[in-house]
Structure 1
Amino acid sequence: MAKNPKFKRRKDARPDEIVEAALEVFARRGYAAARLDDIAARAGVSKGTLYLYFESKESLFEAVVSQSFAPNIEKVRAAIALADGRIGKLLPTLPPVLAHIMESVPVAAIVKMVIGESQNFPNIARSWYEVMVNPVVGLVTQTIADAQAQGEIRPGDPRNYAVQMVGPIFMSFIWNSVMAPVGAEPFDIESLARQHIETIMRGALLDPEAAP
């Protein structure tokens, strides 16, 4: 009887272990080259066991996005809440949050994979857009709109502002994943984010003295 709880915990942990293994295999090999056999072996389960939890590689990728990446959106949302809606207070808190996310999950590798393989596997791009891109752009857009309503940000399309803000950070992810491995100097994400935020907000804030 004493062994039953241990067995139950192990069984309950299997989906998470499989998702973690899939994240590592997708990041290293890409979507097309990732084999379910390799993912199962890395998770320490049989391929048949993997199919008990995930019906296909596509559903497994969806789980990777939802479980490994989507929770990071809540970290950004929490930072916004702590800033009480004041964008001048919020901005200095974002660079370390972005750096932590980059260190904790292979964002750049997955983004590169989605871009490189989306033509042949459009559903992985759709999953990434629905779970990550759209919520992030929407969150930043709403934050900008709120700041405009409070008189902090100059008039302009909030969504355009959002893309202006996240675009260079996104490109630094791609640079570090594509260019750095072939000899280019990688970017320090936290330093780049801090400088970019300082630069864009000195142009966007109605009161430049409120810029971080």
Structure 2
Amino acid sequence: MPKSSPSRPTAQPARQRRKEARPQELLAAALEFFVEKGFAATRAEEVAARAGVSKGTLYLYYPSKEELFKAVVRESLAVHIAEGHEVVAQHRGSVADLLRFVMTEWWRRVGQGAAGGICKIMIAEARNFPELAQFYVDEVIAPSHRLLGSVLQRGMDSGEFRPLPLAETVQVLIAPVLQQTLFLSAFGACHMPTPWPEPMAVLEVQMDLMLEGLLQRPPSG
């Protein structure tokens, strides 16, 4: 009996591939509009048009503008925080190196990109949309504080870092990076010359200063 030829995977129809890609296209278009115009001024039909679909199609995936915004936040910010927790859990070695890596990666993945504009949106519009503000706290702020807190606590427990108040130290870590993110989202979009240095250079100085303050020093003889 002749051997049957191995079956080949059936190519996915173009329409099916388009349908599966559609949520990502909608989220990408929504991120652009939210960062450019803010939450309140963004209209669903604009997002749909940029993604090449009808407004009705958008609502099949995301039933309201609020749900669309939440999906953008999860895709652009929350997923990176979750990945950060995995990196921390798997890391073995210097906690100072881990902290530097976590801070630098956050800037590369979020702070210097379009997703960093979400921070500016929430600061500007949280008061008018308290339900979204609470969502942002639960999905972004609290998990990011837990992430940095876990790194600091590991350093303190191992003796690599000196004991410091955890919540306050997390705030000191976050504040300069958040300031850089807000500056880039606000003034960077204007393409104007500014007296500020490159954000990555600022982050490197911040980490040097922070680690000088965090590292446990042997008692002087």
For normalisation by structure 1, the TM-score amounts to: 0.86
Structure 2 CA distance for partners of 1:166 and 1:104, relative to 1, 3 Å: closer
Q: Percent identity?
A: 31
Report 1:140-155 matches (<5 A): 140-155=148-163
Corresponding position: 1:54 with 2:43: no
Structure 2 CA distance for partners of 1:107 and 1:186, relative to 1, 3 Å: farther
Q: How many angstroms apart in 1 are the aligned matches of 2:165 and 2:111? A: 32
What's the C-alpha RMSD, in Å, of the aligned pairs?
2.4
- The aligned counterpart of 2:3 is none
Q: CA deviation at 1:13?
A: 1.4
Q: How many angstroms apart in 1 are the aligned matches of 2:161 and 2:174? A: 16
- The aligned counterpart of 1:63 is 71
Q: How many angstroms apart in 2 are the aligned matches of 1:74 and 1:191? A: 26
For normalisation by structure 2, the TM-score amounts to: 0.83
Does the CA-based 8 Å contact 2:152-2:166 persist in structure 1? yes
Structure 2 CA distance for partners of 1:102 and 1:197, relative to 1, 3 Å: same
Higher alpha-carbon deviation: 82-91 or 196-205: 82-91
Does the CA-based 8 Å contact 1:95-1:190 persist in structure 2? no
Does the CA-based 8 Å contact 1:140-1:162 persist in structure 2? yes
Q: Which sections of structure 2, spanning at least 5 residues, go unmatched?
A: 1-9
Q: How many angstroms apart in 2 are the aligned matches of 1:173 and 1:193? A: 11
Q: Which has the higher helix share?
A: 1
User: Over alpha carbons, which structure has the higher Rg?
Assistant: 2
3-state secondary structure, aligned to 2:137: helix
Does the CA-based 8 Å contact 1:142-1:158 persist in structure 2? no
Q: CA deviation at 1:81?
A: 4.7
Q: Which sections of structure 1, spanning at least 5 residues, go unmatched?
A: none
Match for 1:197 among 198, 204, 207?
207
AA aligned to 2:212 is R
Q: How many angstroms apart in 1 are the aligned matches of 2:200 and 2:112? A: 14
Q: How many angstroms apart in 1 are the aligned matches of 2:214 and 2:118? A: 31
- The aligned counterpart of 2:31 is 23
- The aligned counterpart of 2:122 is 114
Report 1:32-181 matches (<5 A): 32-77=40-85, 79-81=87-89, 83-84=91-92, 86-94=94-102, 96-102=104-110, 105-180=113-188, 181=190
Q: CA deviation at 1:203?
A: 1.2
- The aligned counterpart of 1:207 is 217
Q: How many residues align?
A: 207
Q: How many angstroms apart in 2 are the aligned matches of 1:85 and 1:123? A: 40
3-state secondary structure, aligned to 2:13: helix
